[in-house]
Amino acid sequence: MAKKDNASQAPAKKKKNAAEAKPFTEAARLRVKYNEEIIAQLKEKFGYENVMQVPKLEKIVLNMGLGSEKDNPKGIESALEELSQIAGQKAVVTKAKKSVANFKVREGMNIGAKVTLRGDRMYYFADKLMNIVLPRVRDFRGISDTSFDGRGNYAMGLKEQLIFPEINYDDVDKIRGMDIVFVTTAKTDEEAKELLKLMGMPFVQA
């Protein structure tokens, strides 16, 4: 399991929230950048013989834990709605696969909300996160480049949903954080890091 890089956020005045997540229709510019620029850059750096060897972003998984709200239908509904708006795709409830007595969790209990993004929606979200959302974090100086899992995947954590432009501050009933996992086809963390860096991930400068 990859360590998560947790960015610290502070609420600010937000744009008006859309009633629901809008369907994504236009071509994702980050996909275009990957195809037209990043593939060639990765081939040059790592010496890949053909394009099939070049690592790519496969999916992005967003998880929002319910915590004390797991028994609260209204809290579950709010978490699902917010994550759906943030991701631009309908979120689903995740359930506990086994009971954990120490955490008062029973098998089958609602424990979170989840969205898995692929294709253009994935590229659109990554573009938004890197270029709009993270720069809104107060005193933001970049994210850790050590949160890889040894298999080319990267995990990060956000402490609150308020930094997303889709979330209206006045409509928020509770601060909710989330985990975001970037799953790539890279064989090594070095290759995955270079892929994400070229895509615009604002890693802390060494």
81: in domain: yes
> In the prediction, which pLDDT does 104 show?
63
19: in domain: no
- pLDDT mean across residues, the chain: 85
114: in domain: yes
DSSP letter, residue 193: H
d(CA 62, CA 92) in angstroms, rounded, equals 11
142: in domain: no
Percent of the chain with pLDDT strictly greater than 90: 60
Domains held by the chain: number: 1
| pLDDT tier, 12 (very low <50, low <70, confident <90, very high otherwise) | very low
C-alpha torsion angle, residues 136, 112, 201, 145 (rounded to 10)? 110
Average pLDDT over residues 6-18: 45
pLDDT over threshold 60, residue 183 = yes
Average pLDDT over residues 156-184: 92
173: in domain: yes
25: in domain: no
């432009």: which residue's tokens? 165
C-alpha torsion angle, residues 39, 23, 168, 142 (rounded to 10)? -10
66: in domain: yes
Average pLDDT over residues 102-120: 80
pLDDT over threshold 70, residue 157 = yes
20: in domain: no
pLDDT over threshold 60, residue 8 = no
What is the residue type of 53?
Q
Q: How many CB atoms lie within 10 A of CB 66?
A: 21
Range of the domain at 159: 1-7+57-134+152-200
Residue predicted with more confidence, 59 or 12: 59
């809290």: which residue's tokens? 75
Domain with residue 95: its CATH number is 3.30.1440.10
DSSP letter, residue 195: H
